[in-house]
Amino acid sequence: MLEVEKLHVRYLTPRGPVRAVDGVSFNITPGEVFGLAGESGSGKSTIAHAIMRLLHPPAVITGGQVHFGGDDVLDMDDDELNEFRWGQVSMVFQSAMNALNPVLTVGEQITDVIDRHLHLPKKEARERAAFLLDLVGIEPSRIDSYPHQLSGGMRQRVVIAIALALNPPLMIMDEPTTALDVVVQKEIMQQIEQLKEKMGFSILFITHDLSLMVEFSDRIGVMYAGEIVELAPAKELFENPLHPYTQGLMNSFPSITGPKVKLTGIPGAPPDMVEPPSGCRFHPRCPHAMEKCSTIVPRLQEIKPEHFVACHLY
């Protein structure tokens, strides 16, 4: 359904171009949850914005393609983009709950999207808004509430209701629950999963919370410094991470059920993306680095069925 191919995005800065996304390829099939994992600054949000065509200068897409259902997203004109956004793909941001308009009721904000795209009579649009609120677990009688009268979790549910308003086949969720406490976070993620089963949409799920990602994704792409370094089904990635960076990530969070192990984390800091390291970008932080790692760029290769890794160890 969604195909991203060799996508390159640069931010043009006075210091030189920041190579935020460097040749990233992946696809998402109907009904699939595809996770993008990686440390802060690895390029996850830039990919999401590129897919939605929401990048503005200093960002420039310098190469690659994005296709949605066969349509060339990077070539769409304004009318096509209007239909594409919300209708085909909607997006829930981390801070979206704070982006609700404080002087409009939640009902007005949901019907606004419905009005603009479906042109339903007022009464029907309001009925659909109430239905959507119910769908995301908010009492439909709260339709005339203002955002400040709702909790953070409820506001985020309203944002999800807006994203579902036109029943799009793909939702991009960029840290959709990060600003919420863990209990509410889990409730909302479970509700999203149920809605997905019911409505059949796919999700591009972005978070740096790897345990949440493993739980809710079908497949995961691990990003490091603008590149996908490993891509595999979630369970396989969790049980058998191959890339030293993924192994480090997996070692950075505790398990509640497994045996007690010392958390090691990943020493060092992500590289400067104006001048990323030569060869494998992870080599300066890698415990297994060999001589060729600093000179030869490892290509993403299928090591086992559906398990891809870019590392000279394999």
- Per CB under 6 A, which of residues 269..308 are in contact with ligand ATP? 273
Of 46 and 88, which has the nearer Cβ to ligand ATP? 46
- Per CB under 6 A, which of residues 135..174 are in contact with ligand ATP? none
d(CA 41, CA 271): 9
Nearest approach in angstroms of CB 187 to ligand ATP is 23
- Per CB under 6 A, which of residues 21..40 are in contact with ligand ATP? 38, 40
d(CA 79, CA 179): 34
Contacting ligand ATP (CB under 6 A), which of 1, 4, 20, 293? 20
Of 11 and 86, which has the nearer Cβ to ligand ATP? 11
Beta strands in the chain (DSSP E): 2-13, 16-28, 33-37, 59-68, 71-72, 89-92, 170-174, 202-206, 219-224, 227-233, 301-304, 307-309
Q: Is 241 in the site for ligand ATP (CB under 6 A)?
A: no
Q: How far is CA 297 from the centre of its chain?
A: 26
Nearest approach in angstroms of CB 11 to ligand ATP is 3
Residues 107, 126: contact at Cβ < 8 Å?
yes
Provide the 10 A C-beta neighbour count for residue 217.
Answer: 24
Contacting ligand ATP (CB under 6 A), which of 22, 26, 43, 188? 43
Give the count of residues interacting with ligand ATP (CB under 6 A).
15
d(CA 232, CA 209): 17
| Chain residues in the site for ligand ATP (CB under 6 A) | 11, 13, 18, 20, 38, 40-46, 58, 208, 273
